[in-house]
Structure 1
C-alpha cells in the first residue's frame, strides 16, 4: 500500500521534528502531536486497505489520507526551510503560522475520519491473511538463491539455429534480418543468444549492439555504435550525425561486421542509421528486433522475417519450473504439478508472463493452498490473452510487500531500455527514504536485499554482475515499466508529465528531455521532492537555469542530472537544505568546481559527479554530518586544519588527493566501505596514510595510486581487512605482499605500473578466492612468468596488458583450471602463447590486440600455435590484427 508507506515516512518526519524543535513549540506542540498520532492510527487502517481497493469508497478514503499526509509534510518542510539554522524560539511569527496550518490539517483529518464512518468503510485492519511478512526460511531462500540471467532462459533452440544460419549463409550483400513479435515474447533474449553464439562471434570481424526504443537520438546511437566498432576519440565526441556516419562508413569498409539493433519502433530510426553501413558484398549483417512488421519489411524487403512464436507446452513448463524452483533442483513437487500446469496454461506461452508468475510463486510456501490462492487471482474472469498477461504482471506487483512496491515503482523514473547502475539506484532509494534498516544492516545493505528480491521475482532484469557476483547493473522490461509508471501515476508517487493540475500531484518528476523547458514552466502546485532527468540526446544547463531550478523547487530531496552538461553551479544550490542526493552523471566534461554554498546542504547523503576532469570540491563539505557517499571521478581536496568532526557514516570516498589531506582526518572515517586515494608520496604523508588503512575493517574496495615522483612504497598490511574483495594498486611498490598478507576474501586484483621485478604469479596463484586478475601497464618488468600446477583455483578472468618486458609465459598442467576469459594486449616481447594453454579446457574467450606480427603468424590456421587455441569457442582479434589473421 503506497499510502501506508507515505504516511509512515511523514509520521517519522513529524516525530523527528518534535524531537528537534519540541521545546520551542510552546502553544502549538499539542496540535503537531495530535496530527502525528492521528496519522499513525490511520496508518494502521491502511495496512489492509489495498485488499479492498476495488471498492470505490475505500479508494477515495485512501486518496484523502494520502493527500492530507502530503499537506502535513509540506507544512513541516516549508517551516524547516523558513527557519533555516535558527531555532523556532526566535521565530514567533513562524510558530504562529505553524499553529494555524496544523489546526487546518487537524480539522481535515477529523472530516476524513468522519467520512469513514458515514460511508460505511469498516475496520480494514484484520491481520492474518493479508500479512506480507515472510517466514525465516523464505528470507534465507531469498538471500541464497542464485540470480537467473536472461541468457539462461530455456527455449529458442530452433530459433537460434535458424537465425544463425541466416547470418552466416545466404547472400553476400548486406542483409537486414528482423526478429518480429509482441512484447514479452523474448525477442531481445533470442537476439542476445545469437549475438553471443560462438559461430557468430568467430564469423564476423567486429560486432556491435545498440538499443533504440521509442525515444531515441540518432547522434547518440551512432556514438554507441562507434564505441563498439572502434576506439572513439575526443574528436568524435563533437561530431554531428552526418560526420559520424561518414566516419563509420570509412572505418567499416573492407570489414565483415555484425550489428544488432534492438527494440526499434519506427522506420525513420533505421533510415537515419542505414547510410553509415557500407555494402561491400562481404556478408555483413544487421539484426533488428521489433514489434512492428512494417519496420522489419521496410528495412530489407528481400530478407525473410523471423516471426517469434509463443512457447509450446513443454518449453513453457520447463521455463516455469526453472524460475519457480531453485536452479539446482527445478523439479516441481507432485502435489503442486496439477495446479502449476493450470497456471502455466493461463500464461499462453508468453515467456515474460511465465517468469513473472513463477517469480511470484517462488516466494510462496510450497503448499497447494498457497498456489490455489494465486490461481484464484488469475481466474477471477475470462479475458483476452493480452488482458490476462497484464493481469499476471499486476498480480506479481500486488503480491509485493509495500516497501518492495515502492522500490518497484521507483524504477519507472528510468527511460525505456535504460541500463541503470545498481549502486546509484540503491543510493537513490536510501535518499528517498523508501528502505528501512533491519538490525545491524546498513540502509544500503537493506536496499541491496530489496533489489535482489525484485530480480528473483523477475520484475527487474539482471544485466551485469559485480566482481563478487552481486548486482552491477539492471534494466526493466517495457511491459513491466509501463505497469510501474501507470500505478505510480495513479498513486501520485511518480509523474513523467509537467502538465498535471492536481493540487497534490506526484512528489517525484522524471524528465527525459527538455529539462530547460521543464524548469521554466510556472509551477502552481506544491513543488516536487525529487527531479530526475535522464537526457536522451544530451542537453546543456546554464548557471541561470540552475539558479531558477533552485528557486522554483526549494524542497528538493533528490536532484539527479544524467547526461546534462553543467559548466557551473550557482550559489543558490546551497538553499536546497532538504537535499539528500545530488548526482551529475553520464560523463559530463565541463564542470570544474562546486560552489562553497554546497556546505549548507546539511542533509546531503550522496554526492556523485561523473566528470572527466578533476573537479574542485570545497573543503567545507566535510562539515556535513549526514554524508554517506562521495563519488567524484576526479580527486577531492581534504578538510582544512582545525575541523574537529567528520561524517561518521561515510561509506564511499572516491577519490581523494593524498598531497592535500591530513592523515588524522582519514583515520576518523572508520565506516568506509570504498576508498580511492591518489598521489601518495613517501616524501610527504604517504606512509602515515598507509598506516591508517588497516583501521578500516569494513572496507570492501580499495584503490591506492602512488605519485610518479614518489619513492617506492611498502604495500599496506591488508590481511586483517576481512571484507576486502577488490584491490587496485597503482605505482611503484617496494614489493608485492606475501599471499597470507592479502585479504583472505580478495576476488579482484589490479596491479598497474607497480614495476615488480620478480614474477608475481608465484604469490598471486595462492590466493584461493581470486576470480579476476589484471596485470597492466608495466605492473611486471621481469622477462618470465609461470603459472604453476593447481595455482589460481578460482581464477575466471585474466588480463595481461602493456607488459613490455615479458618474453616468456609458461602455464603448467592443471593451472587456472577455472579460467573462462583471457585477454593479451600490447605485450610486444611475448614470443608465443604458452603450451599449457591448450589444457585450460574451460577457456571460452580469447582476446588479442596490438601484438607483434611474429606472434600473430603463429596463430594462423595450421601455424605453430594453432593447436593451442583451436578448441576455444570465441577468439576476438582487434582491428589491428584483421589484415593479417583470419581464423
Structure 2
C-alpha cells in the first residue's frame, strides 16, 4: 500500500509546486526534495508491495514509506487549510483577521517544522539499507495495467459453477421427500467451499419456489442481531404473501416477533434458509418461531461449524450435508473456465497451472480468486506465469487449508495495480456482509482521491471501470442487480474481507471502531464507527481524520458529542457519511471543513441546511435522500464543484400514489452549477419557467429528476433537454395527476438516454421516444392516452423493463410480432378500460416476468401468452373472478393450457382474514379447504419489486 500512498502524494505535490503559492521561505526546496526522493523509490515500491508479506524487514520498510507519505499529505492539506481566509467586513472582521493571521503564522511555522522532520525521515529511508526482494531480477518492474477487453467473460455466474449439479440434486431430493414434518438440512463446510452458492441455487430453483410458496432467505453472519434477524424474516414473509408488514413490527420485542412469524407460518408449507450460522445460539433463538406441522416444511442452514450443524439437526429425520472440496477434474474445469474463458490451457502453461491449482486445495473461492488474477496475464509470457507459481509455492506451504487459502487470496490482492489496491482495501470500512450501494461506493472513491483522471472520461466513468475490474477478478460479488442489468449492491466475501482487514491494520489504512476494546493505532486517518459512539476512546490516540463513516449508530448525536469525540480531528476531513444515524440538526462545525468532498445525511432527521454551507467550496456530493429537507438555501449555488445533489424522500405506502415522492425547492438560478451530474428531485411549480431555461446550462447532467412541472413550462424544458446531450436518466412528474406534460417538441433528444420516467397526463406519446435506441427502462404513469402507446415503444431494440400505470384508456393492446425484442419484464397496472390483450407469435421473445393488476375489464387470459417460451413468472393481482377461474388446474380452467408452461403463476385469494398470493396450481386445494367457490380478489398496489426511482 506504500505504492498507493506515494502515487497519491506525488499527484498532489506536482501541482502544488507549479502554483505560485506563498510558501514559507525554505519550504519549497524541502518539498521538492521529498518529491524527488519518493519519485526515485516509486518503481521499487511497485515490487516491494507485492513481496512484503514474506519478509518482515521489507514489511517494516514499506510501512515506513507509507507513513511518511501520509504524514506529508497531512502537512500539505493542513497548509492549504491555513491559507483559506473566510470573507467578512467591518472593524470586527479586521480584528479577527489579524488574530487569525498571527494564529496561522504560528501554525505555518509548525507545519514547516513538520516538513523538515519529514525530509529527515525520507533521507533516512533513502540512505538506509533497503531490504532485498526475492528474485528481483525476475520481475519485469513494468507498471501493472488495467485490462479493458475481458469484460463479462471473466464473471462466473452461479449457474455455471462446476461440481454443483450433484449436490444440488441431492439437496432437492431431501427437500422433496415425503416426510410430513419440518426437516432441517444443514450444509456444512469451511468458508469458500460454496455453501451459500449451493443453497442459493436450490432456493432459486423454480420447482422449489413452486412447492414452497412461503419462503425467506435470512443471512445470520458472525455478529448477528436476533431482533434485526427476526424483523428481516417478518418483512420477507409479508412480502412473499403480498402484504405490507405492520408498522408496529419495528417496535416489537423478540417474543412478539417470534409469535408473529409462527402465526404467519402456522398453516403453510414453508422453506426458510438461515445462511452463515456461526453459533448454536442463533439457531436456538429462531427455531421456536418455526412451527413443526405436517405440511412438509423445510429449513436449510449453512454453517462452517460442525457443532452448529449437528445441533440444529439433532431432531429425527434431519440431515447434515457436508460439502466437500472439488475433485481434481472439476477443479481443473473451474480453473480453465475462469482463467481461459472456457478454453483449454495452453500446453506451455499446463504444468505451471497444475502447480498453482494444487495449492488451491480444491477450494472454489481460492480457485476463482487466483484464476481471476491469472486471466489478465499474457498467455505467451511463460516467465510471468512462472513468477505467479513461485509466489503461490512460497505463500502456501502449510497444511492448514484456511490459512493457505488466505495466502492465495492475498496473492490476488497483491496482483492488483496500486489504484485498485486502494479501492479494494477501502471496502474494509464497511461492516461484514454489508450490502454496499454501487453509486455510494463510486462517490466515496472519488471523494477520497483514489480515482485517476483519464482523458475523455468523467471520474465516475473511471471509477465504474475500477469496480468492473474488481468484479471481473471475482474480488467483489454482486448482491443485487436492477431488472435492466445494472449493479445495485455488492459486497466482498467474508474471507476476502479478513484478508484486507489484516492489511488495513498493518498499513494503518483504516480503523474499525466495533468494540470498546478495539486495538487503536497511534494515529487514525479513516474511521468507521459500527453500532455505537461509545466505542471511541478518549485521549488514547490522535485523530487526523480524512474520513468518518457511521454504520448502525443509534446513539443520540449532537454537535457537542461530535466536538467532544474529535476535538482536533476534523480539519482535514474529506468524507463525512452519517447515513442512518440519529442526527436531527445539521452540525454547524461541518461548514468549516474546507477539504470536505462528500457529505451524506441520508436517512437522518435533519430538516434544514444552513446558508453557511456555501463555505464548503470543495464539496462534490451532497446526499440528503430520505431526510426531512424540503428546501435548500440560495447559497447552495455557491458550491461550484458540486457534482451530485440528491434530495428526495418517499412518504406513502404505494408507488401507485401520485404523491409518493417529495423533492426540494431551490433557487431557479441553478444554471451556474456547471459540474452537476445528478440533480433530483427539484420542484418546479413556483419558479418553473426560469428554472427550466437554466437547466439547459447544466450540460454535464446525467441524471435529472423534476417534480411539479406545469404544462406552460414544457416548451422551455424541451429546449433545455436538447442541450443535455450527456443525459442518461430523465424523470418528470407533473404538478397534478391530470396536468399535461408538454414535451412533444424535442427535435434532438439525448441519444444516450437509458431510463425514462413520465408521470402525468400526455396528450400523445412523444414520437421522439422511438429514436432512443439506448433506452433500457421506461415507466409511464397516469398518461391516459387514447391511442395505443405500444406503437412507439415496441421497436426499441434494448428496452428491458416496461411499466404502464393508467397509461391507456382503450380496450385492446396488441403486442406485434418481432416487437420488444429485449423486453424481460412487463408490468400493466390499472388499465381499467382494457378488455383484450393480444400477443402475436414472435413478440417479446425474451420476456421472463409478466405482471398484470387492477385491470377490471380484462376477463380473459391474454391471447398468445402461450408463445412466451421464456416466461418464468406471471402475477395476476386484483383481477376479475372470471380470469382467475379460467386458470383452474382440474381440467375446468379453459385457459390453463395457455400458462401451463410457466413455472410460477400467482393469483390472489382471501384466506384467514387477509389477502395472500397463491399459485394457480394450488387453486383447487385452497378452494376446497375454504369451501368457497367464489373467491374475491384484491391486493395492495404492487410495487413491481421496486419504488419508482430514476
Q: TM-score, normalised by structure 2?
A: 0.86
Match of 1:132 among 119, 130, 143: 143
- Structure 2: 5+ residue stretches without partners: 88-96, 239-243, 650-661, 909-914, 924-950
Paired with 1:613 and 1:120, the residues of 2 have a C-alpha distance of 56
Match of 1:605 among 610, 615, 620: 620
**Does 2:509 correspond to 1:493?**
yes
**Does 2:272 correspond to 1:246?**
no
Distance 1:517 1:241, change over 3 A: same
Shift of 1:83: 4.5
For the 8 Å contact 1:719–1:743, the answer to whether it is kept is no
After superposition, residues 765-804 of structure 1 pair within 5 angstroms as: 765-776=794-805, 778-804=806-832
Deviations 1:453-474 (A, max 9, x none): 1111111112233455343221
**Does 2:858 correspond to 1:830?**
yes
**Does 2:116 correspond to 1:106?**
yes
**Does 2:19 correspond to 1:3?**
no
Deviations 1:1-25 (A, max 9, x none): x112212323333445556661464
**Does 2:379 correspond to 1:379?**
no
Paired with 1:550 and 1:564, the residues of 2 have a C-alpha distance of 17
Q: 2:762 — aligned with what?
A: 733
Shift of 1:399: 0.9
Deviations 1:460-506 (A, max 9, x none): 11223345534322111111110011011111112214767877534
For the 8 Å contact 2:75–2:114, the answer to whether it is kept is no
Match of 1:444 among 448, 454, 460: 460
For the 8 Å contact 2:685–2:735, the answer to whether it is kept is no
For the 8 Å contact 1:245–1:275, the answer to whether it is kept is yes
Q: 1:62 — aligned with what?
A: 62
Q: 1:761 — aligned with what?
A: 790
Distance 1:267 1:519, change over 3 A: same
Q: 1:459 — aligned with what?
A: 475
For the 8 Å contact 2:647–2:664, the answer to whether it is kept is no
Q: 2:499 — aligned with what?
A: 483
Q: 2:705 — aligned with what?
A: 676
Paired with 1:616 and 1:242, the residues of 2 have a C-alpha distance of 42
Moved more, 121-130 or 716-725: 121-130
Q: 2:104 — aligned with what?
A: 94
Distance 1:733 1:123, change over 3 A: same
Distance 1:163 1:619, change over 3 A: farther
Distance 1:758 1:645, change over 3 A: closer
Paired with 2:693 and 2:35, the residues of 1 have a C-alpha distance of 43
Shift of 1:149: 2.9
For the 8 Å contact 2:155–2:474, the answer to whether it is kept is no
Moved more, 293-302 or 445-454: 293-302
Q: 1:640 — aligned with what?
A: 667
Paired with 2:149 and 2:408, the residues of 1 have a C-alpha distance of 23
For the 8 Å contact 1:67–1:504, the answer to whether it is kept is no
Deviations 1:743-765 (A, max 9, x none): 22111111111112222122211
3-state DSSP class of the match of 1:246? helix
Paired with 1:767 and 1:68, the residues of 2 have a C-alpha distance of 56
Match of 1:509 among 489, 506, 527: 527
Paired with 1:105 and 1:673, the residues of 2 have a C-alpha distance of 42
Moved more, 686-695 or 784-793: 686-695
3-state DSSP class of the match of 1:663? helix
3-state DSSP class of the match of 1:130? coil
Shift of 1:48: 3.2
Moved more, 617-626 or 492-501: 492-501
Match of 1:323 among 330, 338, 352: 338
Q: 1:656 — aligned with what?
A: 682
Moved more, 81-90 or 723-732: 81-90
Paired with 1:838 and 1:741, the residues of 2 have a C-alpha distance of 28
Shift of 1:395: 1.0
Moved more, 225-234 or 446-455: 225-234
For the 8 Å contact 2:3–2:46, the answer to whether it is kept is yes
Q: 1:173 — aligned with what?
A: 181
Moved more, 452-461 or 569-578: 569-578
For the 8 Å contact 2:824–2:846, the answer to whether it is kept is yes
Paired with 2:644 and 2:567, the residues of 1 have a C-alpha distance of 26
**Does 2:873 correspond to 1:873?**
no
3-state DSSP class of the match of 1:564? coil
Paired with 1:855 and 1:146, the residues of 2 have a C-alpha distance of 46
Shift of 1:178: 1.3
Q: 1:628 — aligned with what?
A: 643
Deviations 1:192-242 (A, max 9, x none): 100111110000122211211111222222222222211224333333333
Distance 1:215 1:620, change over 3 A: same
Distance 1:284 1:538, change over 3 A: farther
Distance 1:292 1:177, change over 3 A: same
**Count of residue pairs brought into register by the alignment:** 874
3-state DSSP class of the match of 2:434? coil
Match of 1:347 among 343, 360, 371: 360
Shift of 1:591: 3.1
Q: 1:360 — aligned with what?
A: 373
For the 8 Å contact 1:547–1:570, the answer to whether it is kept is no
Distance 1:48 1:334, change over 3 A: closer
Moved more, 73-82 or 415-424: 73-82
Distance 1:798 1:812, change over 3 A: same
Match of 2:277 among 251, 255, 264: 264
Moved more, 155-164 or 383-392: 383-392
Paired with 1:248 and 1:301, the residues of 2 have a C-alpha distance of 23
3-state DSSP class of the match of 2:581? strand
Paired with 2:461 and 2:573, the residues of 1 have a C-alpha distance of 25
Match of 2:781 among 736, 752, 760: 752
Distance 1:866 1:543, change over 3 A: farther
Distance 1:67 1:347, change over 3 A: closer
Q: 1:845 — aligned with what?
A: 873
Q: 1:692 — aligned with what?
A: 720
Q: 1:582 — aligned with what?
A: 599
**Does 2:418 correspond to 1:389?**
no
3-state DSSP class of the match of 2:319? coil
Paired with 1:441 and 1:596, the residues of 2 have a C-alpha distance of 33
For the 8 Å contact 2:630–2:664, the answer to whether it is kept is no
Paired with 1:495 and 1:570, the residues of 2 have a C-alpha distance of 23
Shift of 1:46: 2.7
Deviations 1:77-120 (A, max 9, x none): 33444443359998365245424432443244234424543435
Distance 1:114 1:484, change over 3 A: closer
Paired with 1:9 and 1:96, the residues of 2 have a C-alpha distance of 28
Q: 1:864 — aligned with what?
A: 894
Q: 1:221 — aligned with what?
A: 229
Shift of 1:645: 7.0
Paired with 1:157 and 1:427, the residues of 2 have a C-alpha distance of 40
Paired with 1:483 and 1:652, the residues of 2 have a C-alpha distance of 35
3-state DSSP class of the match of 2:149? helix
Paired with 2:325 and 2:563, the residues of 1 have a C-alpha distance of 53
Distance 1:615 1:277, change over 3 A: farther
Q: 1:195 — aligned with what?
A: 203
Paired with 2:306 and 2:133, the residues of 1 have a C-alpha distance of 53
Shift of 1:518: 4.0
Paired with 1:38 and 1:338, the residues of 2 have a C-alpha distance of 42
Paired with 1:80 and 1:240, the residues of 2 have a C-alpha distance of 52
For the 8 Å contact 1:256–1:284, the answer to whether it is kept is yes
**Does 2:418 correspond to 1:433?**
no
Shift of 1:69: 2.5
Shift of 1:538: 5.1
For the 8 Å contact 2:586–2:609, the answer to whether it is kept is yes
Q: 2:608 — aligned with what?
A: 593
Distance 1:807 1:237, change over 3 A: farther
